[in-house]
Structure 1
Amino acid sequence: MRVVVVTTSYPEGDEDPSGHFVRSSARALTRGGAEVHVIAAGGSILDPPSQDGGLVVHRAGGGALFAWPGAAARAREAPHRLLSALPFAASVLARLREVGPVDRAVAHWILPCAWPLLLAGTRAPLEVRAHGADVRLLLRAPQAARAAVVGALLRRGARFVFAASALRDALARSLAPEQARALAGASHVEPPAIELPPVAERAASLRRELVESPGDRLAVVVCRLIPTKRVELAIEAARAAGAGLRLVVIGDGPERGALERLARRSDPAAGASRGAGGAGGAAVRFTGTLPRREALAWIGAADVLLHPSSHEAAPTVIREARALGVPVVACDAGDVNAWARDDRGILVAAGTVESFAAALQTIPPRRLEHVGPPLP
């Protein structure tokens, strides 16, 4: 069986923190013996295909728009980057011709990834995976445009896979009843696959370095530093939670400068340190973007992952934290509240400093021997 996967999110390498959920899903297809070709944003249409484990990766350009810290943030920063969407779609069509006939086609993101598959006239069964930003884009679009996109995919016989039930429900509510019923019948909910490299040894080392007293606790935030992630809520909550709590912010983005200034105001005596070196005794530490394995080690070393984001579907970082045995304090976004009903390690707090701080105070310090390998 030959499968083609079209996506705007795919890692440049093992340590690139972006798009691992797509690579994990594509790798899962190879376990049944399929030959899987991934057509991904980045690079150039002139680049030859490359091997990534059992996957054949074809780059299709579009990196001016489809790159860190996300298409929406990059377009806000420089609106002309939106023009990259058209050459990307054209390059995907060219790559599809190079790949040739396939037995199955998968689009990761409704927009823009499913559209080239429709334009190419691919006759193979089509699966469209919605992760969050694509659904939010459709919800902001005029109703007629939204109905046209969903209708075209339904007429093509596409099967929809939503990362979270909240996404499917929100999109269905925005459609006419007949189309909403058709969408429900042609869809199911399935969080993306995740794969975790071994990080226990590095996690234990980080914890020994940073947690000096048995009663001290380490909290981490891992995300793009953009407004919807609400990292300021985590900073203020960590300050309000009292002494003995250190916060590490892993990631970068346009909000970093403002967040560092907030951290200095929250703790003017200690301030906030830049870079990844030295604990320095600071209450809040910013590491910038780290290689994926290092970021996962920081999560594994922590007493708690803070996730105050207001716009989510099925947050991968929460699932990674729980796989590493780390408790999570999060806001109710996407399917987080539903997960919390089945997992006592996820605490859902209101989007206020007081609520987050109160939830933080219920998390006890972990013992070093509990920093271990991923749970099965």
Structure 2
Amino acid sequence: MRAVVVTTSYPMSDEDPSGHFVRSSARALARSGAEVHVIAAGGSVLDAPSRDGELVVHRAGGGALFAWPGAVARARASPLRLLAAGPFAASVLARLRAIGPVDRAVAHWIVPCAWPLLLAAPRARLEVRAHGADVRLLLGAPRPARAAVVGALLRRDARFVFAAGALRDALAGALAPAQARALLGASRVEPPAFDLPPVGERAEALRRELLQSPGERIAVVACRLIPTKRVELAIEAARAAGPGLWLVVVGDGPERPALERLARGPAAGSAGHARRAGGAAVRFTGALPRREALAWIGAADVLLHPSSHEAAPTVIREARALGVPVIACDAGDVVAWARDDDGIVVAEGTAEGLAAALRAVPPRRSDRAPAPLR
């Protein structure tokens, strides 16, 4: 069986955190016996295909728009970047034609990745995976446009896989009743796959480096620093939670300067990377390789996740797989997960609500058991 995966997010290297769940999904497909070709944003359309283990990766350009810290943030910073969507789609079509007939086609994100498959892979079994931003884009589009996109895929007998039930419900609720029923009948909910490298030794080393006295704790926020992640709430909550807390902000993005100003004044720690916020010390690590970012999560007493817009946040699932408790806000399927996992606490989406949850975090156990992967 030959299969093709089309995506706007795929890692440029082993340590690139972008799109690792897409790679995990593609690798799972390859393990089923398929010859898998991945067409991904980034690089140049002139690049020759490369090998990524058992996968063949074809770059289709479009990096001006489809790159860190995300297409929405990049387009907001420079609207002209939206012009890269057209050449990317044309490059995907060219790559599909060069690959030739396939038996199975998988689009990660409904838009812009699914429609080239309608044109260039007419006989392949089509699967469309929705992760969040694509559904929000459709919800913000005019109703006729939304219905046209979903209708074209349903007529093609596409199967939809939603990262979260909340996404599927939101999209179905924005369609006409007959089309909503058809979508529900052609879909399932399945959180994205992910691989977790061993990070235990590095996590313990990071705790030894950071903690200065008994009783101190580490809270970690790991995300792109964009408005919807609401990292300012984590900083304000850390300030309100009292002394003895380190807040480590793992990631980078356009909000970082404002967040560093909010954290206020220098504090002990790496030069240029620590700020004092009330009684808490805040450390900004910047963007890190994936393994190092996971090590910081593994080093934490708790993962803070105050984001307002999510589907099935992989970082929460990674934290729980590492045995780290989570304080999150109500977004996506997080509330449903918390019903089955007492290691996830859903807090009110305010600094006061998060601070109260932080104060209730029990001391770290040395024998933290990982939660079952979802």
- TM (normalized to structure 1)? 0.95
1:185 matches 2:149? no
Which residue is equivalent to 2:172? 172
Which residue is equivalent to 1:322? 320
> Could you tell me how far apart the structure 2 residues matched to 1:330 and 1:196 are?
21
Structure 2: state its 5+ residue gaps.
none
How many residues align? The count is: 371
Provide closer, same or farther for how the CA distance between residues 278 and 338 of structure 1 changes in structure 2, counting only shifts above 3 A: closer
> Could you tell me how far apart the structure 2 residues matched to 1:64 and 1:75 are?
9
1:270 matches 2:267? yes
Equivalent positions of 1:128-147 (< 5 A) are 128-147=128-147
Residue of 290, 294, 297 corresponding to 1:296: 294
Q: Is the 8 A contact 1:203 1:371 kept in 2?
A: no
Q: CA RMSD in A?
A: 2.0
**3-state SS of paired residue (2:81):** helix
Which residue is equivalent to 1:59? 59
> Could you tell me how far apart the structure 1 residues matched to 2:86 and 2:224 are?
26
**3-state SS of paired residue (1:283):** strand
> Could you tell me how far apart the structure 2 residues matched to 1:96 and 1:274 are?
49
Provide closer, same or farther for how the CA distance between residues 363 and 315 of structure 1 changes in structure 2, counting only shifts above 3 A: same
Q: 1:274 offset after TM fit, Å?
A: 6.2
Provide closer, same or farther for how the CA distance between residues 270 and 335 of structure 1 changes in structure 2, counting only shifts above 3 A: same
**3-state SS of paired residue (1:309):** coil
1:353 matches 2:351? yes
Deviations 1:98-123 (A, max 9, x none): 11111100000000000111122421
The residue type paired with residue 270 of structure 1 is A
1:313 matches 2:311? yes
> Could you tell me how far apart the structure 2 residues matched to 1:323 and 1:131 are?
20
- TM (normalized to structure 2)? 0.95
Identity among equivalent positions (%) equals 80
Structure 1: state its 5+ residue gaps.
none
Which residue is equivalent to 2:159? 159
1:32 matches 2:32? yes
Which residue is equivalent to 2:95? 95
Q: 1:213 offset after TM fit, Å?
A: 2.7
> Could you tell me how far apart the structure 2 residues matched to 1:122 and 1:207 are?
53
> Could you tell me how far apart the structure 2 residues matched to 1:274 and 1:228 are?
28
Deviations 1:162-184 (A, max 9, x none): 00000000000000000000000
The residue type paired with residue 28 of structure 1 is A
Q: 1:45 offset after TM fit, Å?
A: 1.1
Q: 1:212 offset after TM fit, Å?
A: 2.7
Which residue is equivalent to 1:4? 4
Equivalent positions of 1:53-132 (< 5 A) are 53-132=53-132
Instruction: Single out whichever of 210-219 and 343-352 deviates more from structure 2.
Output: 210-219
Q: Is the 8 A contact 2:243 2:280 kept in 1?
A: no
> Could you tell me how far apart the structure 2 residues matched to 1:144 and 1:97 are?
30
Provide closer, same or farther for how the CA distance between residues 269 and 7 of structure 1 changes in structure 2, counting only shifts above 3 A: closer
Provide closer, same or farther for how the CA distance between residues 63 and 200 of structure 1 changes in structure 2, counting only shifts above 3 A: same
Provide closer, same or farther for how the CA distance between residues 20 and 269 of structure 1 changes in structure 2, counting only shifts above 3 A: closer
Equivalent positions of 1:208-247 (< 5 A) are 208-247=208-247
Provide closer, same or farther for how the CA distance between residues 244 and 303 of structure 1 changes in structure 2, counting only shifts above 3 A: same
> Could you tell me how far apart the structure 1 residues matched to 2:370 and 2:138 are?
40
Deviations 1:248-273 (A, max 9, x none): 00111110000000000xxx473896
> Could you tell me how far apart the structure 2 residues matched to 1:115 and 1:211 are?
51
Q: 1:151 offset after TM fit, Å?
A: 0.3
> Could you tell me how far apart the structure 2 residues matched to 1:275 and 1:96 are?
47
**3-state SS of paired residue (1:3):** strand
Q: 1:362 offset after TM fit, Å?
A: 1.0
Which residue is equivalent to 1:204? 204
The residue type paired with residue 234 of structure 2 is A
Provide closer, same or farther for how the CA distance between residues 325 and 31 of structure 1 changes in structure 2, counting only shifts above 3 A: same
Which residue is equivalent to 1:257? 257
1:49 matches 2:49? yes
> Could you tell me how far apart the structure 2 residues matched to 1:15 and 1:219 are?
23
Q: Is the 8 A contact 1:172 1:183 kept in 2?
A: yes
Q: 1:276 offset after TM fit, Å?
A: 6.0
> Could you tell me how far apart the structure 2 residues matched to 1:312 and 1:278 are?
28
> Could you tell me how far apart the structure 2 residues matched to 1:125 and 1:306 are?
40
Instruction: Single out whichever of 308-317 and 212-221 deviates more from structure 2.
Output: 212-221
**3-state SS of paired residue (2:267):** coil
